[in-house]
């Protein structure tokens, strides 16, 4: 995606998502299209998003603080 | 001509058939070749696995395992030979896993898969050949293992894994390895492993990417990463990328390393962290699971 680790200032998880989609969505989209996928795809929705090692879907409330680490892991399930 | 009467004590027979060898690092070792192991099994009416076990217990190394000993020792090889390892899936990941475990000298392999080889498996599934298309994967796997290492006992289970049958299939295994291609079945196996207190080595691939982690009972696991609801299957980007050969081979090989570490007690398994490999960008990431 052109960047492995970046530091950003965001106030909320929605801001984080917007940042990722804006800055890395087009690169992801291009990659996906290059392998023949026509349908629009979201980088966020195709990733397991972990906040400090826990999937954000498991968190009831997300309050971001300084130093939090967000990992976007492409969902891989093949064998 | 050696006197090998069948009533001869086993240790004497092993001693007579084995040879002394000096390793490159000047260690003396006694070794026994494949033909002699077969002869012992035949004369003593024991399985080849038992014959190899007797040899190792007598500090005589079957030549086929000679190149393992410097890494895992005779004791480690014995542990492998006495162990049962279950492999769920005999496709891209599972095929390579099975091949490597057989060569390494796992004593009992449980192989579970309900599928048959199809033409689109040929790109990556090491057990798939043109002449084996439409044949049962577990039967082909069993035949391959027998060709590689006739000491390995094989339980080939041609069945669809579900929550009702998984425990009876993997019970008694020292470790269960993930050769599956969907998250739904992985979660069934992972849950059963947790309940049976068996470590589960997870691996998955998509395109140039692969991930791996070892889940011991009580550890963080797949649900912590994927956070799916009960009914969700959880497809990944392999839907777009497909699965090339080398990605499967790398992750499968690493899964085997995990199994060897668990069985022998040597080294440190990948626990409570996820390894993520991206071969396109040549990156390796380790994500601690909190």
Grouping H, G, I as helix, E, B as strand and the rest as coil, residue B211 is strand
Interface contact B137, partner A, CB < 8 A: no
Q: What pLDDT sits at residue B284? A: 93
What digits encode the pLDDT tens for the residues A3-42? Answer: 678 888 999 999 999 999 999 888 777 777 777 666 667 8
Lowest average pLDDT, out of B80-84, B108-112, B219-223, goes to B219-223
Tell me: do B160 and B257 sit in the same domain. yes
B237 and A75: CB-CB below 8 Å? yes
Would you say residue A46 lies in a domain?
yes
Interface contact B177, partner A, CB < 8 A: no
E-only strand ranges, chain B: 19-22, 28-32, 60-62, 84-88, 108-112, 153-157, 175-178, 200-206, 209-215, 273-278, 283-288
Chain B nearest-CA residue for A5: B285
Interface contact A71, partner B, CB < 8 A: yes
- Secondary structure of B130-197 in the HEC alphabet? HHHCCCEHHHHHHHHHHHHCCCCEEEEECCCCCCCCHHHHHCCCCEEEECCCCHHHHHHHHHHHHHHC
Checking if the pLDDT of A1 tops 60, the result is no
Interface contact B238, partner A, CB < 8 A: yes
- Closest Cα in chain A, distance from residue B252 (Å): 9
More confident call, A65 vs B24: A65
Residues 211-230, chain B, touching A (beta carbon < 8 A): 211, 220, 224-227
A76 and B226: CB-CB below 8 Å? no
Residues B86, B170 contacting (CB under 8 angstroms): yes
Grouping H, G, I as helix, E, B as strand and the rest as coil, residue B29 is strand
Taking Cα atoms as reference points, which of B138, B154, B150 lies closest to residue B85?
A: B154
Range of the domain at B54: 10-79
Q: What pLDDT sits at residue B4? A: 67
Interface contact A52, partner B, CB < 8 A: yes
What digits encode the pLDDT tens for the residues B204-251? Answer: 999 999 999 999 999 999 999 998 877 777 788 898 889 999 999 999
- Count chain A–chain B contacts defined by CB atoms under 8 A: 94
Tell me: do B165 and B33 sit in the same domain. no
Domain end, chosen from B55, B79, B103, is at: B79
Q: Name which of B182, B203, B290 is nearest A53 (Cβ-Cβ).
A: B290
Q: In whole numbers, what is the pLDDT of chain B averaged over residues?
A: 95
Tell me: do B164 and B94 sit in the same domain. yes
Tell me: do B39 and B101 sit in the same domain. no
Residues 87-116, chain B, touching A (beta carbon < 8 A): 89, 91-94
Would you say residue A27 lies in a domain?
yes
Chain B environment of A46 (Cβ under 8 Å): 237
Would you say residue A26 lies in a domain?
yes
Residue tagged 């899964």 (tokens): B255
Tell me: do B51 and B126 sit in the same domain. no
Domain end, chosen from B27, B58, B79, is at: B79
Domain end, chosen from B79, B104, B133, is at: B79
Both tokens assigned to A52: 């400090």
Would you say residue A6 lies in a domain?
no
Q: What pLDDT sits at residue B229? A: 75
Chain B nearest-CA residue for A71: B287
Q: What pLDDT sits at residue A60? A: 93
Domain count for chain B: 2
Give me the half-sphere count of Cα atoms (radius 13 Å) on the Cβ side of residue B132.
21
Checking if the pLDDT of A70 tops 80, the result is yes
Chain B environment of A77 (Cβ under 8 Å): 181-183, 186, 204, 206, 234-236, 238
Q: What pLDDT sits at residue B3? A: 59
Tell me: do B41 and B114 sit in the same domain. no
Would you say residue B4 lies in a domain?
no
Domain count for chain A: 1
Tell me: do B75 and B88 sit in the same domain. no
Report ipTM for this prediction.
0.85
Checking if the pLDDT of B2 tops 70, the result is no
Checking if the pLDDT of A71 tops 80, the result is yes
What digits encode the pLDDT tens for the residues B137-165? Answer: 999 999 999 999 999 999 999 999 999 99
- Closest Cα in chain B, distance from residue A11 (Å): 22
CATH for B268 = 3.40.50.720
E-only strand ranges, B48-99: 60-62, 84-88
More confident call, B20 vs B230: B20
Checking if the pLDDT of A62 tops 60, the result is yes
Residues β-bridged to residue A47: A74
Range of the domain at A65: 13-74
Would you say residue A57 lies in a domain?
yes
User: What predicted TM-score, i.e. pTM, was given to this entire model?
Assistant: 0.93
Would you say residue B52 lies in a domain?
yes
């Amino acid at each position: 995606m052109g960047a492995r680790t970046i530091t950003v200032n965001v106030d909320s998880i929605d801001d984080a998502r917007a940042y990722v989609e804006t800055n890395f969505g087009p690169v992801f989209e291009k990659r996906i299209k290059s392998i023949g996928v026509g349908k629009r795809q979201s980088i966020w929705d195709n990733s397991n998003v972990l906040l400090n090692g826990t999937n954000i879907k498991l968190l009831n409330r997300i309050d971001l603080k300084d130093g939090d680490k967000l990992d976007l892991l492409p969902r891989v399930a093949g064998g | 001509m050696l006197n090998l009467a069948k009533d001869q004590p086993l240790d004497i027979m092993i001693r007579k058939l084995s040879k002394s060898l000096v390793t490159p690092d000047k260690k003396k070792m006694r070794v026994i070749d494949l033909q002699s192991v077969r002869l012992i099994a035949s004369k003593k009416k024991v399985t080849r696995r038992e014959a190899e076990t007797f040899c190792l217990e007598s500090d005589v190394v079957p030549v086929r395992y000679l190149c393992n000993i410097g890494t895992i020792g005779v004791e480690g090889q014995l542990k492998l030979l006495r162990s049962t390892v279950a492999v769920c899936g005999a496709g891209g990941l599972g095929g390579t896993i099975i091949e490597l475990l057989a060569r390494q000298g796992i004593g009992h392999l449980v192989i579970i898969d309900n599928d048959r080889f199809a033409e689109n498996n040929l790109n990556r599934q090491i057990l798939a050949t043109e002449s084996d298309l439409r044949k049962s994967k577990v039967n082909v796997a069993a035949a391959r293992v027998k060709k590689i290492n006739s000491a390995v006992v094989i339980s080939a289970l041609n069945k669809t894994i579900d929550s009702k049958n998984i425990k009876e299939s993997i019970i008694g295994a020292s470790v269960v390895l993930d050769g599956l291609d969907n998250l739904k079945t992985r979660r069934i196996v992972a849950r059963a492993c947790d309940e049976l207190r068996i470590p589960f080595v997870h691996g998955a691939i998509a395109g140039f990417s692969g991930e791996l982690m070892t889940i011991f009972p009580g550890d963080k696991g797949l649900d912590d990463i994927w956070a799916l609801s009960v009914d969700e299957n959880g497809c990944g980007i392999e839907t777009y990328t497909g699965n090339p050969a080398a990605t499967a081979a790398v992750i499968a090989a690493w899964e085997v390393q995990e199994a060897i570490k668990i069985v022998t007690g040597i080294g440190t398994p990948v626990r409570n962290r996820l390894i993520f490999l991206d071969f396109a960008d040549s990156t390796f990431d380790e994500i601690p699971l909190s």
